[in-house]
Structure 1
Amino acid sequence: MLALLCLSLVSLALGRSPVVHLNYASYHGRSTSEISQWVGMRYAAAPVGDLRFEGPQDPPVATGLQQATQHGALCIPVAGKRNAAIPSNHAEDCLFIDVYAPTEAYLSNASLPVYFFIQGGGFAALSNPNYNGSGLVQASGNNIVVVTFNYRVGPYGFLASEEIEQGASLNNGLKDQLKALKWVKKHISKFGGNPDHIVIGGDSAGGASVTFLLSAYGGRDEGLFIGAAAESQSFGTVLNVAESQFSYNRLVTRTGCNETENTLECLRGLDVSELQSENIVTPLPGAPGNPLYLYSPTIDGDLVQDHTYTLFQQGKFIKVPVIFGDDTNEGTIFVPVGTSSVGQAEEFIKDQFPSMSKDQMIKIHKMYLNKNQTKEFPNAGPYWRPASNAYGELRYICPGVHMSSIYAAAGVPSWNYHYAVLDPDDDTKGFGTTHTVEVNAIWGPDYVSTNPPDSYYTSNAAIVPVVQGYWTSFIRSLNPNTHRVASSPRWRTWGDGDDAYNRIFLRTNHTRMEKVSDEQQERCNYLISIGVELRQ
């Protein structure tokens, strides 16, 4: 048996492709002696034609051996302007999944822990496309399997209205995620993964997706995953079906479908280029200008039963070990750099959270938008950083603080991080430690699809193995400490009562435990208290 395994490894190293036989198709990928990968596999049918705006369906049966050596098309994003063309390498037919596994584990039918990663992008785009899981697999000592995938965004995944509710399906982007997760549960053993040890993770909207999956169907545990790690989890405005009707009405008007008897049938019948030409951002009701992101999951009374804050405060969430965390300067990449007045800062916040009352805005002003917090940076307005601080804590940092507290209070292991790695260029420009920059450390700078800061190859290279040690340890054992790098400090749990608010401070050569400051606790307590009113 050992000789056969060695012969198989040699054959793979010489270029023979690994083949997996699923119940609907057979896929062959590519291998080295260390890592095998299968990319561009269908996990659901193409959501086109009559399946536009429908929940994901089973993939069709495919005969013959299917190639799994090239990534599938990405899902179409919300356009930056009217009449924009569909970006290259994007299509409506986009529900593809990728698997990265140790070659030996695949060949020996091992049963390794699985990491299921959900991309971010504000539910408007896929901002972490085609990350290469090989780096994480290697960082784990070849002891995990990594899965990445696409899901529908914008109106293709999150259009909501009475017409959609009655004649199609709501929250299809989240349903795509669940479909992919069930695909992993069913098929991952064929790749060397353990279907009973799946840890979900994601960044930004992917982190928000983690919270939506934790509270899906009111926290009904279907045994799809046993741990979760949310990076910079986003808590944006979430509307119900009636409140979302405006976006549907505007879309049918812009496309001319308002002149037809069946507007949903008309939208489905549009050529995708016609639909995409009008797939733009417009203001939320009551907002002075456009939000950063128009579409998001919708409260449907079923999959998403209420606002995220409400569900977790009511205990309607799956109780599994969790990681939540954020970056020091979550808001700087979002707020316009030229923000030069209090009025501009307030307008930006109101565009994202139009239900914010005058009294709440006055409180925000007192906490953040005062002259004492203005800073001068090259080519930047003085209120850029104050507005960024407000937005970063409102949408990202304080929700993460609250999630950790909720889990700790429920007696579930909960870890929180403060990512504070300083990149010299970003620090000089005033951006600081930006939103989701930690993906470069988690995945490794050679394995992400965007351009990492140069310092991750030089002055910040040492943070990569430390962070990967914590993450792969959590994936493997549901504890970031079990397999951490020996020289790195123990990451204590968040704690409860008098011992609460403990988080790890991640910075190159200065990683340590810290306690959330009293000042940030006070700001977060207020922001959390108004979260439901802001529809978070």
Structure 2
Amino acid sequence: MTLLYLTAFVFLARLVASAQNLTVDLGYARYKGRGLSDGIAQWLGVRYAASPVGSLRFSAPQDPEAVDGVQEASQHGPLCIPTGDSPAPAGTSEDCLFLDVYAPSASKNSTGLPVFVWIQGGGFNTNSNANYNGTGLIQASGTGIVVVTFNYRVGPYGFLSGQEVLKGGSVNNGLKDQLKVLNWVQTHISKFGGDPKHVVIGGDSAGAASVTLLLSAYGGKDQGLFHAAAAESQSFAPMLTVNQSQFTYNNLVIRTGCASETDTLACLRNLDTASLQSENFNTPFPTAQKAPLYMYGPVLDGDLVLDYTYRLFHQGKFIKVPVIFGDDTNEGTIFVPKNTSSVSEADTFIQSQFPNISLVQLAKINNWYLTENQTRQFPHAKPYWRPAGNAYGEIRYICPGIDMSTVYSQAGVNSWNYHYDVQDPDAEASGDGVTHTVEANAIWGPQYVSGTPPSSYFTSNAPIVPVMQGYWTSFIKTFDPNPHRSLDSPEWKTWGVGNESYHRIWIRTNQTAMETVPTDQQERCKYLTSIGTDLQQ
């Protein structure tokens, strides 16, 4: 009996010690994480900034308030409220500035591990890749990395702009939330076993746009917040100046009944969330015919975002760290309406997204993408859906990634580019093809994303998962995708310069190999890059 009690006592003592070991003191709060049976520990719902409500609505993120006691870090924090949904969806809140940390259970007792900070996408209007689980990446790394994911403000909560906001609050707050996280990582990640001097940022879509904006933030001033970057489907949307975005502020003030108030910003801040959210929807840009997919987003503020992304990079105003850029074959298909039945409808869609596009530029694009011989028949789709998707995909995603790789290689910085072409049978049959950001399922592991992966990622395309995880975890650990790539994966060579440029890796299940960007795509991208600043990219 004595031995039984002793055994039980030792077991309980170990449980208590384990729980104490997973309690992290951040100064402003103590959070108790949870150790999982797979050797991974997680801390969910860790507050990284004060609640951005009341007087802090439309303001830069502030330090969290101190709280007493130990906080259970066992549930994700609420997501930030998206544009276009009223009432606000369940599981969302203005009080949304939380992050999650995933680490090997023994990492707190080890030397600092490389850190991967993931920035989710959503067009700066929603948190669309929320609550991804870092377990798959950590296991693929040989339990050799720490992963951080987080929410940031979107829509008007994160990106409302105008003179009143500039004077009485702050613009580009969603980007400032991201910087707040990176500063939090510098201060606290060592308490989770991470190395603040070895941080890799990554993201997809608007998260990848965020990567390019952080690389060029403050004109490329390196504050030591990260040391390499990976951008998946980097999105180059048009960016307005503060004055150009005044219409979004004015419209919101009018719709919410605040136009009669002397202090319209105070009126907006005093609205309850439901009243503000009922008027949170996209409207057309002043020079466009229809509302864009995403109206709110980063603006040129003369400080954090000094100029258009294309211009900053071509002027050399960017942080020089190893980078990955890349895209999917059919970037535009999920965005263009499937009932696009004519060139005029396709042009209206493109103009709605890029309102400064000229008729001469549209004609050039039409001759490349929107001719009758480019049309194909797909189920439940009109003939110009796929051609318009091809145009939009290259304008906004593919060609910017190609240009970024060129800029970095010309600067003498290691730059890798990928063309993700893993074909899912259902997506191919529908015409969607290899869609925007679908590679995230392979990078994280299909069981660890919050959306619904293509079913083939559990069957015929399952072999692509270790390939992508090998490249990504190697890059996270060494700033190079090759040293720890998976067995039998080909060497991923850099983009190259001069006559040896335009080298990227073509990724398809059991066929992955290096390729050179086709000359016709090079030609189209050179033109689209040349008009990028005209399109305010």
The answer to whether the 8 Å contact 1:15/1:32 transfers is no
Equivalent in 7, 15, 21 of residue 11 of structure 1:
15
Q: Which residue in 2 is equivalent to 1:196?
A: 197
**Are the aligned partners of 2:256 and 2:276 in contact in 1 as well (CA < 8 Å)?**
yes
Corresponding residue for residue 477 of structure 2: 476
Q: Which amino acid aligns with 1:277?
A: S
Alignment of 1:308-457 (within 5 A): 308-457=309-458
Aligned-residue offset at 1:486: 2.0
CA–CA distance in 2 between the matches of 1:322 and 1:64?
Answer: 41
Structure 1 residue 7 displacement after superposition: 8.8
Cα 1:16–1:26 change in 2 (3 A) is closer
Matched residue SS, 2:448: coil
Q: CA 1:7–1:225 in structure 2 vs 1: closer, same or farther (change >3 Å)? A: farther
1: distance between equivalents of 2:307 and 2:134? 34
Given that residues 120 and 129 in structure 2 are in contact (C-alpha distance below 8 angstroms), is that contact kept between their aligned partners in structure 1? yes
Q: What does residue 42 of structure 1 align with?
A: 47
Q: How many Å separate the matches in 2 of 1:377 and 1:406?
A: 37
SS at match of 1:326: strand
Equivalent residues in 2 for 1:108-507, closer than 5 Å: 108-507=109-508
TM-score under structure 2 length normalisation: 0.97
Residue-by-residue CA offset, 1:474-516 (whole Å, 9 max, x unaligned): 0000000010012100000000000000000010001000000
Following superposition, the deviation at residue 105 of structure 1 comes to 1.1
1:292 counterpart SS class: coil
CA contact (8 A) 2:121 2:128 kept: yes
Is the counterpart of residue 102 in structure 1 residue 107 in structure 2?
A: no
Q: Does structure 2 retain, via aligned residues, the 8 Å contact 1:17–1:30?
A: no
Runs ≥4 residues deviating over 2 A = 6-17
SS at match of 2:365: helix
Counterpart code for 1:428: A
Separation in structure 1 between the aligned mates of residue 148 and residue 398 of structure 2, nearest angstrom = 27
Cα offsets for 1:265-309 (capped at 9, x unmatched): 100010011000100110011101010000110100000000000
1:22 to 2:23 alignment: no
Amino acid in structure 2 at the alignment position of 1:25: A
2:379 is paired with a residue whose SS is coil
CA–CA separation in structure 2 for the residues paired with 1:388 and 1:86: 30
CA distance in 2, matches of 1:15, 1:214: 38
Post-superposition Cα deviations, 1:342-380, rounded to whole Å, max 9, x if no partner, equal: 111000000000100000000010010001110111111
Partner Cα separation in structure 1 for residue 379 and residue 260 of structure 2: 51
Aligned residues between the structures: 527
Residues 363/111 of structure 1: CA separation in 2 closer, same or farther (3 Å cut): same
Opposite residue 145 of structure 1, the aligned amino acid is V
**1:518-529, aligned counterparts within 5 Å?**
518-529=519-530
* Displacement after TM superposition at 1:11 (Å): 3.4
Shift of 1:12: 7.9
Identify the residue that residue 7 of structure 2 maps to in structure 1: none
CA distance in 1, matches of 2:187, 2:223: 13
Letter in 1 for 2:147: V
- Structure 1 pair 509–9 and aligned structure 2 pair: CA distance change class (3 A): farther
Work out the CA distance in 2 between the residues paired with 1:338 and 1:427. Answer: 18
- The question of whether the paired residues in 2 share the 8 Å contact of 1:17 and 1:31 is answered with no
Deviations 1:314-354 (A, max 9, x none): 00000000000000000000001111111110000000001
| Corresponding position of 2:79 | 74
The 3 A distance-change label for structure 1 pair 350 and 281 is same
Deviation at 1:259, TM superposition (A): 1.1
Residues 79-98 of structure 1 aligned to structure 2 (within 5 Å): 79-80=84-85, 84-98=86-100
Partner deviation per Cα, 1:52-103 (whole Å, 9 max, x = no partner)? 00000000101000110000010000024xxx20100100000001000001
Asked if 1 retains the 8 angstrom alpha-carbon contact of 2:80 and 2:153, the reply is yes
CA distance in 2, matches of 1:431, 1:339: 14
Q: Which amino acid aligns with 2:455?
A: D
Letter of the structure 1 residue corresponding to residue 261 of structure 2: T
Identity within the alignment, %: 63
Change (3 A) 1:270 1:524: same
Q: Secondary structure at the match of 1:362?
A: helix
Which of 48, 56, 61 does residue 51 from structure 1 map onto? 56
Name the amino acid aligned to 1:28: K
AA matched with 1:70 = Q
- Do the aligned partners of 1:109 and 1:189 also contact (CA within 8 Å) in 2? no
Q: Unaligned 5+ residue runs, structure 1?
A: 1-5
Residue 25 to residue 500, structure 1, CA distance change in 2 (3 Å): same
SS of residue paired to 1:470: helix
Instruction: Output one character per residue of 1:155-178: Cα deviation in whole Å (capped at 9) or x when no partner.
Output: 000000010111110100000000
Give the TM-score normalised by the residue count of structure 1: 0.97
| 1:446 aligned counterpart, secondary structure | helix
Structure 1 position 250, deviation (Å): 0.2
Q: Contact 1:9/1:104 (CA < 8 Å) preserved in 2?
A: no
The 1:304–1:7 alpha-carbon spacing in structure 2 relative to 1, beyond 3 Å, is farther
- What residue ranges of structure 2 are gaps of 5+ in the alignment? 1-9
Q: Any idea what the Cα deviations from partners look like across 1:204-234, whole Å, max 9, x if unmatched?
A: 0000000000000000000000000000000
Q: Given that residues 153 and 177 in structure 2 are in contact (C-alpha distance below 8 angstroms), is that contact kept between their aligned partners in structure 1?
A: yes
Looking at structure 2, the residues matched to 205 and 41 of structure 1 have their Cα atoms a distance apart, in angstroms, of: 23
Shift of 1:14: 8.2
Separation of aligned partners in 2, 1:528 and 1:514? 21
AA at the equivalent of 1:50: S
Amino acid in the other structure paired with 2:391: A
1:130 and 1:437 mapped to 2: Cα distance? Answer: 16
Give the distance between the partners of 2:19 and 2:278, measured in 1 at CA. Answer: 44
2:65 matched residue in structure 1: 60
1: CA distance between counterparts of 2:20 and 2:241? Answer: 51
Matched residues in 2 for 1:176 and 1:194: separation? 21
Q: 1:339 to 1:12 in 2, by over 3 A?
A: farther
1:243 partner SS: coil
- What is the SS of the residue equivalent to 1:334? coil
How far the C-alpha of 1:264 sits from its partner, in A, is: 0.4
Alignment partner, residue 6 of structure 2: none
Give 1:31's match in structure 2, choosing from 24, 32, 35: 35
Following superposition, the deviation at residue 110 of structure 1 comes to 2.6
Asked if structure 1 preserves the Cα contact closer than 8 Å seen for 2:19 and 2:32, the reply is no
Please state how far the C-alpha of 1:109 moved relative to its aligned partner: 3.9
Counterpart in 2 of 1:508? 509
Look up the equivalent residue of 2:60 and give its one-letter code.
G
Residue 3 (structure 1) aligns with: none
